[in-house]
Structure 1
Amino acid sequence: MMYGNYGTGMWGVLLMVVFMIVGGLLLWGLIVAGVVTAAHYLRGPDRSRGMPETGTSARQVLAQRFAQGDIDENEYTRRLHVLDTTGPPPHPADTTQQRR
């Protein structure tokens, strides 16, 4: 009478154990990959790749250039006045429609 291994023998039991281990590892790998993918998707774009942040305004760049001595006071005030009196640049699609 055989009890426990249902007639598969030692190699059958060993093969079932290997399949269970590999299947468990694959299952946990899929779970971890899903969590990492969801976290990456929910976090948004990666800003640590050396790209300048979009929060840097023209005023901040102008102030940095003035502080570093790249431009003098007259140039700084002239450019600051231009920033105060003009709005954002037009969208390229808007300028092509005006030319027609």
Structure 2
Amino acid sequence: MMFWYDHNVSGWGWFTMSVGMVLFWAVIIGVGVLLYRALSNPLGRTDVHAPPGRIPEQLLAERFARGEIDEDEYRQRLAALHEAPSPPKRA
């Protein structure tokens, strides 16, 4: 006789298959999420507009230096930045 248990699966067999199926789908979904995140954000950047640690005055000065804005607009925006309340600092 080749099959001793007559193709019946015990309680532990069902438990093992259930856990295996849950782990299989968790791995498949996890790989899918990681692949999506890697392909949607190829450079690993979180904020494309401003690198961390740069203050708005620096960004404004860089735009003025590149010639994107003229002196009048630079001074108006700089004054607006100093008049506006500063956002709360992140820890």
Compute the TM-score of the two structures, normalised by the length of structure 1.
Answer: 0.46
Q: Which has the higher Rg, Structure 1 or Structure 2?
A: 1
Compute the TM-score of the two structures, normalised by the length of structure 2.
Answer: 0.49
Answer 1 or 2: which has greater helix percent: 1
